[in-house]
Amino acid sequence: MAMRRHKRRRVLIESYQYRLLFINLVHFLTILVIFAAAIFLPLILQLRSGGLSVMEQGEVAGQFLSLHARVWPAMIVIFVLLAVHSVFVSHRIAGPLYRFRTIFKAIAEGDLSVRATLRKGDYLGKESDTLNEMIASLRTKVQAIHAHSQDVERLLVALERSLDRGSIPDANQHATDLRRQMEQLRTSMEHFRIHPGENGASSPAAPAKSAGDSAPFRQS
């Protein structure tokens, strides 16, 4: 079942998008100050030096005003474009993260039918593929556990009926089959690690049952 697409009602939907936009704008302003200083500071120093004639001062002042008229509008346009680009890029990250968070909540509630779907151009594509692989693997393991539990339940019912009928051979056979299903169920559960540092797959197997143990019901 594909996840519903999130309908945005705001330009920025995540708190970190505001931080990312703020950081980008601060970087731009820093670059702007350095750029303006490199352009205008030499002209200002010439005007304040006092060694220029009136005509030279007029030429420098003209250059200063001409740069003002051309540079600042261009800087404003770049500032706006950078802000729009930052929002656009952040959406390409925020969208997948929003979907991942929704999927995590669904998995926590036991829904393994979900799947991560991204829009064209979204980032975190490899992470989305890995998440889908994880969900598929969990779904396969849970399906196997569910199948084994159904077999165990069926064998328990058959065992109870055999005991009610007093059929010891049938009861022994059902007990053997039940033990086999329980072993398969335990093997399926070993794929999961519950505690830190625990490795369920490498845990020692249960001791092998002897031939006598496989038939717990004895006919008197």
pLDDT at 218 over 70: no
Distance of CA 191 to the CA centre of its chain: 22
Q: Are 67 and 44 in contact, with CB atoms under 8 Å apart?
A: no
CA 146 vs. chain centroid, Å, equals 27
pLDDT the model gives residue 129: 93
Q: In the chain, what percentage of residues exceed pLDDT 90?
A: 10
User: Is-contact 201 191, C-beta < 8 A?
Assistant: yes
The contacts found for 63-69 with CB under 8 angstroms, 24 or more apart, are 64/40, 67/39, 67/40, 67/43
Q: How far apart are the first and last CA of the chain?
A: 57
Dihedral of CA 157/162/166/168: which sign?
negative
Residue with tokens 């779907």: 117
Give the lowest-confidence range in 2-16, 19-33, 134-148: 2-16
- Domain ranges in the chain are 15-123, 127-192
Give the per-residue pLDDT at 10.
53
Phi, psi of 54 (to 5 degrees): -65, -40
In this predicted model, what pLDDT tens digit does every residue of 20-36 receive, in sequence order? 888 888 888 898 889 88
- Across residues 115-139, what is the average pLDDT? 90
pLDDT value at position 11? 54
pTM of the shown model? 0.58
Looking at residue 12, its pLDDT comes to 58
Distance between CA atoms of residues 84 and 91, nearest Å: 11
